């Protein structure tokens, strides 16, 4: 019987394993909404009733996957995230709160729990209520949306430095924090370690509004950013150029601190696809993104044993040859329900190139709205297709959402454990 760490390592190198590994919560995009975490823990009888779940990602309201839950579902991966969350404050000083659906949770001390007059909740960068709010969740909502705080754009004075405020050399404090947690997990668990150091996701639209900055400058509007990839391509390129320079310097320091204790480097969560087609042509990807993905991947492959992880939703088939050429090792979430993302075709054409990490069940339709039998059938089919000849880590298509029936959650993980 292989350890989880060895099992994932062999999968990452396209070698045979005793069974397919599973990831729940190892990355920001393979987790579970806190309400579903609570529901699953209750069904598995891991907690007394009304035991709260910690919110570890206040933006997505993702719940903590504690070691007992990870063992219960057969998980093989643990994750390490930056010391500060999406709103720029640390996950500490926990206090009780209740989600709109009644789920009891614990939130960080600087998480704002005071509703607006209309019942909505806003969050503030660094928890500072003297700054304009940067996140908004409507009453009865399930997540936060970024509040666009776009200053007027004057192209005559626009400088890439404005969009580089958040990309800085890793501090000694943060470096020590990463090193301590990674060394602890390496010594105290047998799990593969996936790490999101941050700073390498070029043009990730969820990051562009910079919800953690009090007064972001530059291009911070989502629509304006997408338009700028065409109308201000030279500007965007210069932002990425400097961002990559800083990221590479940080990687050198981080590798010196943690070595090859980690298995997976979360490089990018930039979405390149809609449900029906890529956001951009292959030429645009090659001109604007490819050079910087390749720089990061080349450095990682030259100096470490880590594997590089890309998350991109949607229909991205035309971009996959270039993404592979850039050196991406792991493709997530494998949204095979999008147009032209047929599972059999993906596995046949790219199964020896990418490790497919995800794709285990459709989280938009089947898991929340399907029957138990439909969940079981879909999980079995995904395991059959993606698991053939290895190179597969089981996870859902993106995070498990709220509102999933408890029986479907149990069916998901029971079916996996039976067939893995």
- Between CA 41 and CA 396 the distance in angstroms is 18
First to last CA, the chain: 14
Return the structure tokens found at 77: 């991966």
What is the per-residue pLDDT across 263-301, written as a single tens digit (0 to 9) for each? 999 999 999 999 999 999 999 999 999 999 999 999 999
What is the per-residue pLDDT across 88-144, written as a single tens digit (0 to 9) for each? 999 999 999 999 999 999 999 999 999 999 999 999 999 999 999 999 999 999 999
Report CA Rg, the chain: 21
In this prediction, residue 13 has a pLDDT band, given cuts at 50, 70 and 90, of very high
Cβ neighbours of residue 30 under 8 Å, at least 6 residues apart? 23, 24, 77, 332, 333, 357, 358, 395, 396, 398, 399
According to CATH, what is the number of the domain 4-46+65-88+150-419?
Answer: 3.20.20.210
Return the structure tokens found at 304: 């470490």
**DSSP one-letter code for 104:** E
pLDDT of residue 42: 98
Per the listing, tokens 């993104």 go with 289
Strands 53-57 and 104-107: parallel
Per the listing, tokens 């470490």 go with 304
What is the per-residue pLDDT across 303-339, written as a single tens digit (0 to 9) for each? 999 999 999 999 999 999 999 999 999 999 999 999 9
Q: Is the peptide bond before 333 cis (omega within 30 degrees of 0)?
A: yes
What is the per-residue pLDDT across 20-69, written as a single tens digit (0 to 9) for each? 999 999 999 999 999 999 999 999 999 999 999 999 999 999 999 999 99
Tell me what the pLDDT averaged over the chain comes to: 97
Q: Nearest 5°: phi and psi at 393?
A: -115, 120
Q: Count Cβ atoms within 10 A of the Cβ of residue 162 and give its class: 0-12 exposed, 13-18 middle, 19 or more buried.
A: middle
Strands 62-63 and 330-332: unpaired
Strand order of the β-sheet with 192-195 is: 77-80, 192-195, 264-268, 307-311, 330-332, 355-357, 392-393
Claim: this prediction has a pTM higher than 0.95: yes
Question: Where are the chain's structural domains?
Answer: 4-46+65-88+150-419
């Amino acid at each position: 019987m292989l350890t989880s760490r060895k099992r994932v390592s062999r999968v990452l190198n396209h070698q045979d394993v005793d069974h397919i590994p599973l990831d729940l919560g190892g990355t920001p995009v393979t987790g579970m909404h806190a309400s579903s975490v609570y529901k699953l823990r209750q069904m598995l009888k891991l907690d007394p009733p009304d035991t709260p779940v910690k919110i570890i990602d206040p933006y997505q309201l993702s719940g903590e996957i504690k070691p007992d839950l990870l063992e219960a579902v057969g998980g093989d991966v643990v994750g390490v995230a930056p010391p500060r969350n999406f709103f720029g404050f640390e996950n500490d000083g926990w206090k009780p709160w209740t989600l709109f659906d009644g789920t009891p949770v614990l939130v960080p001390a600087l998480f704002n729990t005071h509703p607006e007059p209309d019942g909505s909740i806003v969050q503030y960068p660094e928890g500072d209520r003297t700054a304009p709010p940067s996140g908004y969740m409507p009453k009865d909502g399930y997540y936060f949306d970024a509040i666009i705080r776009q200053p007027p754009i004057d192209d005559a004075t626009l400088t890439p430095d404005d969009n580089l405020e958040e990309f800085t050399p890793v501090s000694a404090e943060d470096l020590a924090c990463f090193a301590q947690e990674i060394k602890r997990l390496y010594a105290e668990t047998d799990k593969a370690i996936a790490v999101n150091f941050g700073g390498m996701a070029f043009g990730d639209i969820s990051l562009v509004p910079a919800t953690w900055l009090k007064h972001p400058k530059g291009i911070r509007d989502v629509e304006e950013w997408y338009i700028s990839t065409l109308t201000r391509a030279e500007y965007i390129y210069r932002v990425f150029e400097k961002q990559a320079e800083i990221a590479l310097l940080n990687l050198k320091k981080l590798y010196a601190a943690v070595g090859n204790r980690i298995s997976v480097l979360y490089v990018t969560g930039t979405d390149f696809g809609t449900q029906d087609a890529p956001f951009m042509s292959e030429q645009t990807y090659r001109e604007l993104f490819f050079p910087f993905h390749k720089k990061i991947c080349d450095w990682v492959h030259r100096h470490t044993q880590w594997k590089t992880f890309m998350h991109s939703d949607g229909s991205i088939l035309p971009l996959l040859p270039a993404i592979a050429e850039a050196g991406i090792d792991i493709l997530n979430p494998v949204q095979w329900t999008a147009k032209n993302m047929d599972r059999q075709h993906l596995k046949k054409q790219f199964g020896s190139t990418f490790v497919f990490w995800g794709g285990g069940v459709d989280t938009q339709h089947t898991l929340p709205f399907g029957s138990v039998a439909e969940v079981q059938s879909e999980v079995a089919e995904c395991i059959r297709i993606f698991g053939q000849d290895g190179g597969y880590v089981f996870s859902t298509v993106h995070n498990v959402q709220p509102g999933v029936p408890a029986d479907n959650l149990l069916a998901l993980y029971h079916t996996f454990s039976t067939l893995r």
